[in-house]
Amino acid sequence: MVVGGGVIGLTTAVVLAERGSRVRVWTRDPVERTTSSVAGALWWPYRIEPVASARAWALRSLEVYEALAADPDRTGVRMVEGVLGEADLDKARAWAGERLPGLRAATAEEYTGAGLWARLPLVDMPVHLPWLRQRLLDAGGTIETRTVSGLGAVGAPVVINCTGLGARELVPDASVKPVRGQLVVVANPGIRTWVVSTGGDGEMAYFFPHADRLVLGGTAEDGVWSTEPDPAVAEAIVGRCAALRPEIAGARVLGHRVGLRPARDAVRLEREPQPDGRVLVHNYGHGGAGVTVAWGCAEEAAGLAAS
């Protein structure tokens, strides 16, 4: 049994089902209403600990996303070039090793200031999550919209807890906290590459192209629970992105999105022994990088469930 149907729960369920387990997913929210559906989502290890494990999970996930990018219309995953502003080339090379062969310093035409040019997976979550759900169903898994009120009450010999911020109440684990992120979706004025920058005023600014849509970000507000889009914040996001690419200023706004990143000092990915002999594995607290590490975490969680 997997509790939670965001990117972490669905990916974990897919790995388990494809390894031959009979998998049920219980999720409080339909996939379209999860934090995962809000994400941008660029493969990059933003605000995630522990560093060494996150690196291994991210690099394994990179391998999977590279393969999924062969069928972008179905999977929602594409390899897209862009600029990581204010990032250090030597550090990035040391971190990624040979796995990001095209990594280089951005030229002055590509970015004002020091930046890295990279080709990374960009995941269109409104396409990717339904594709994950279908892949699970095809592997014989099931999904039910059900809220779990206690992990001990789930009648299954193996339970994998992938509830993200929900773990705060469910475990309970007060160290899981929201980091609010707001985005603006605009009609894409013809932009084909992405940019992530800390912006002129030190605030984060980024844009991710998804076919006819451009996702503009963003914010990271620690401990803030509101999921209502703030019009003043939206205006500031558009302004910061337009400072990077002027054509964004006139782009038609298609919508606003807010998500609460499930932040924790470190991801909790471990097996917790149960007195009655049942197996409980936790896989939550992925903060701002759940998409980046999903496959590596899923495989480790599946291994813990089987051991």
Ligand X SMILES: Cc1cc2nc3c(=O)[nH]c(=O)nc-3n(C[C@H](O)[C@H](O)[C@H](O)COP(=O)(O)OP(=O)(O)OC[C@H]3O[C@@H](n4cnc5c(N)ncnc54)[C@H](O)[C@@H]3O)c2cc1C
Q: Which of 250, 257, 261 is nearest to 222 (CA)?
A: 261
Neighbour count for residue 101 (Cβ, 10 Å): 10
Dist CA 35 CA 37 (whole Å): 5
Contact present, 138 and 128 (Cβ < 8 Å): no
54 binds ligand X (CB under 6 A): no
Residues 167-196 that bind ligand X (CB under 6 A): 170, 181, 183
262 binds ligand X (CB under 6 A): yes
Q: Pairing between strand 77-85 and 194-197?
A: parallel
Nearer to ligand X, 125 or 248 (CB): 125
The residue range among 80-88, 135-143, 241-249, 259-267 that interacts with ligand X, by the rule CB under 6 A, is 259-267
For the CB of residue 234, give the shortest distance to ligand X in the complex, in Å.
Answer: 12
Quick one: tokens of 102?
A: 């095209």
Nearest 5 degrees, angle CA 24-CA 27-CA 28?
A: 155
Candidate residues 17, 23, 237, 289; the one interacting with ligand X per rule CB under 6 A: 289
76 binds ligand X (CB under 6 A): no
The residue range among 66-74, 107-115, 266-274, 281-289 that interacts with ligand X, by the rule CB under 6 A, is 281-289
Q: Pairing between strand 115-123 and 104-105?
A: antiparallel
For the CB of residue 12, give the shortest distance to ligand X in the complex, in Å.
Answer: 9
The residue range among 14-22, 67-75, 79-87, 159-167 that interacts with ligand X, by the rule CB under 6 A, is 159-167
For the CB of residue 108, give the shortest distance to ligand X in the complex, in Å.
Answer: 26
Candidate residues 1, 13, 41, 54; the one interacting with ligand X per rule CB under 6 A: 41
How far from 70 is each of 61, 143, 173, CA to CA, in Å?
15, 27, 39
Candidate residues 29, 49, 66, 272; the one interacting with ligand X per rule CB under 6 A: 29
58 binds ligand X (CB under 6 A): no
82 binds ligand X (CB under 6 A): no
For the CB of residue 88, give the shortest distance to ligand X in the complex, in Å.
Answer: 20
H or E segment at 215?
A: strand 213-217
Find tokens 């160290």 and name the residue. 175
The residue range among 15-23, 79-87, 103-111, 290-298 that interacts with ligand X, by the rule CB under 6 A, is 290-298
For the CB of residue 122, give the shortest distance to ligand X in the complex, in Å.
Answer: 8
Nearer to ligand X, 163 or 188 (CB): 163
Dist CA 72 CA 67 (whole Å): 10
118 binds ligand X (CB under 6 A): no
How large is the angle between the packed helices 125-138 and 7-18, nearest 10 degrees?
30
Dist CA 232 CA 14 (whole Å): 40
The residue range among 37-45, 94-102, 108-116, 229-237 that interacts with ligand X, by the rule CB under 6 A, is 37-45
226 binds ligand X (CB under 6 A): no
Dist CA 2 CA 21 (whole Å): 11
Nearest 5 degrees, angle CA 233-CA 239-CA 245?
A: 140
For the CB of residue 153, give the shortest distance to ligand X in the complex, in Å.
Answer: 11
Collapsing DSSP states into helix, strand and coil, what is residue 219? coil
Quick one: tokens of 72?
A: 């972008």
Residues that bind ligand X (CB under 6 A): 3-9, 26-29, 34-36, 38-42, 147-148, 162-166, 170, 181, 183, 218, 259, 261-262, 284, 286-292
